[in-house]
Chain A
């Protein structure tokens, strides 16, 4: 039986209580909204992209501890990255949540979400911000839904 502490690791609790990069991004060039119909949570991700790199990244909204912490840690990890690097990181992150294998070694802090794998109903909470970030990069104005 997996312990709740495996899900709610300290870093997750910390980021859910004190989310980083929460708020408006000045002179944002990209933005998108995401929605999780299961719990009604909404998140908006804003980006400022220059020369193909994410210079500014911020989010608003979210909701549960998992989705808020995920948005917070994602924004920290993706600052300075290119869209291609975001895509690679997203795939590794998704595999961490859904695949029964050792996490990619270069996930860094994002590996704290490994416990989510034991809670299939919560995977969408962890991926909401990521789907929204990818929609913003695609220039997709429609709200993305995790369903």
Chain B
């Protein structure tokens, strides 16, 4: 390396962090795809796992695999303690007031459905409204549709503008005394738009409408503080947060959780059962029927330890810089249009290439070792809004580099050679 390059590299490392060292923590980043180094730009779908997370799973299954809360033997005690530790790590990670407010679920989808089927069914009736935005992932649309259909309530949508922004004034106008619930994403997975959540929550609370936040795309990319936001419910997925699949978190304010009926019935969620009457367990176990995903709970704890070590603020700053770099580079390509140009975005660049269908773009990029997502990103209403069927989406994580963005740009040029 030349002295000049050395200096350049140092100056970059000083402003952000040592991405080369971070990459060493992720074994999969050494994989080759079609003989090329893997360039993984599909982080919004699922993220890669650091060795610390993988090791935590192996360690549990190798050394202390046992069920939790059920036995006095040592392994069960250790497994139970590890799960309790993880719950406390999650609590601190999102600054919840109590571990009673942290319920482990399968993922964001299950968290949102839990709220719809318990709080929703209890509080929403004929003529009431549930308010969502035009940015939502199907998992933050369909549970509310099901609920509204059942209760003869109305699902109201605040549509997005040409940049993919939910206009705050439109949002405010859509609220009224029949709004019983607001369900909104923190960050859009299809476009990357960051919603002004704190403002939205304040507005909703003026109408006494609790707010359910789909935090699937926010938790991995920024510091989340549920109390500062004053969110009533906040759901996210472990697998997008560098943890295992099959585990996620539903945060809920304790008073709301207490007032809600249970979601599923079974073991662990009860205090006592007779054929005449069952009394339910305390929070958070009331919402955790059956043997939980113990390995997943341990894994998400390890993932949180890992990102805390790197630092959520450092991650957000580095990713923002990388997103700007990538946005500039993609914008400069002729015949390529970025879909979603909100002033406040995180991690995602969705784009369309003239004369090349996203599916073909994805296949050509794949041959270059570049993994992107193509399709409607489980957000068909967003695609409809822009009059397209699909986009190609590159979504970044803190282990991605400028060199990988350059590879993406070269890949798009190769697509254009093929199809134009």
Binding site for B on A (CB under 8 A): 1, 4, 7-8, 13, 16-17, 38-42, 63-66, 68, 119, 121-122, 125
Contact = CB atoms under 8 A, between A and B. Distances in A.
A39 B389 contact: yes
B246 to A, nearest CB: 23
B359 A125 contact: yes
Contacts of B363: 4, 7, 119, 121-122
B418 A38 contact: no
Contacts of A7: 363
A13 B383 CA distance: 26
Interface of B: 34-35, 355-360, 363-364, 367, 374-376, 380, 383, 389-390, 418-419
Contacts, number: 53
B367 A39 contact: no
Contacts of A38: 375
Contact of A63 (B35, B355, B367, B389): B389
B368 to A, nearest CB: 9
Given A38-B375, A39-B375, A39-B389, A63 B359 contact: yes
A4 B375 contact: no
B35 A40 contact: no
Contacts of A39: 357-359, 374-376, 389-390
A11 to B, nearest CB: 14
A77 to B, nearest CB: 22
Contacts of B357: 39, 41, 63-65, 68
Contact of B389 (A17, A41, A119): A41
Given A13-B418, A39-B374, A64 B35 contact: no
A40 B389 contact: yes
A64 B359 CA distance: 6
B339 to A, nearest CB: 14
A40 B376 contact: yes
Given A40-B389, A41-B389, A122 B419 contact: no
A2 B4 CA distance: 40
13 contacts: A4-B363, A7-B363, A8-B418, A39-B357, A41-B357, A41-B359, A41-B390, A42-B389, A63-B357, A65-B357, A66-B359, A66-B360, A68-B357
B367 A4 contact: yes
Contact of A64 (B34, B360, B367, B376): B360
A93 B301 CA distance: 50
Contacts of B359: 39, 41, 63-64, 66, 122, 125
Contacts of A68: 357
Ranked nearest first, the 5 interchain pairs of A and B with the lowest CB-CB distance are A64-B357, A64-B359, A40-B389, A40-B376, A65-B360
B294 to A, nearest CB: 33
Contacts of B419: 13, 16, 65
A47 B389 CA distance: 25
Nearest to B388: A40
Given A8-B418, A39-B358, 9 more contacts: A4-B418, A8-B360, A13-B418, A39-B376, A40-B375, A41-B357, A41-B359, A63-B357, A119-B363
A16 B355 CA distance: 10
B375 A1 contact: no
B388 to A, nearest CB: 9
Contacts of B376: 39-40
A40 B418 CA distance: 22
Contact of B34 (A1, A13, A63, A122): A1
A38 B390 CA distance: 10
A40 B360 contact: no
A67 B304 CA distance: 43
A63 B383 CA distance: 14
Contacts of B355: 17
A38 B362 CA distance: 13
Nearest to B364: A4
Contacts of B35: 1
A40 B364 contact: no
B301 to A, nearest CB: 34
Nearest to B367: A4
Contacts of A66: 359-360
A17 B383 CA distance: 23
Nearest to B415: A4
A12 to B, nearest CB: 10
Contacts of B418: 4, 8, 13
A131 to B, nearest CB: 17
Contacts of B360: 8, 64-66
A40 B367 contact: no
A41 B388 CA distance: 10
A5 to B, nearest CB: 9
Nearest to A68: B357
A56 B77 CA distance: 73
A119 B34 CA distance: 12
A77 B67 CA distance: 62
A65 B420 CA distance: 12
A61 to B, nearest CB: 10
A136 B364 CA distance: 33
Nearest to B36: A1
Contacts of B356: 65
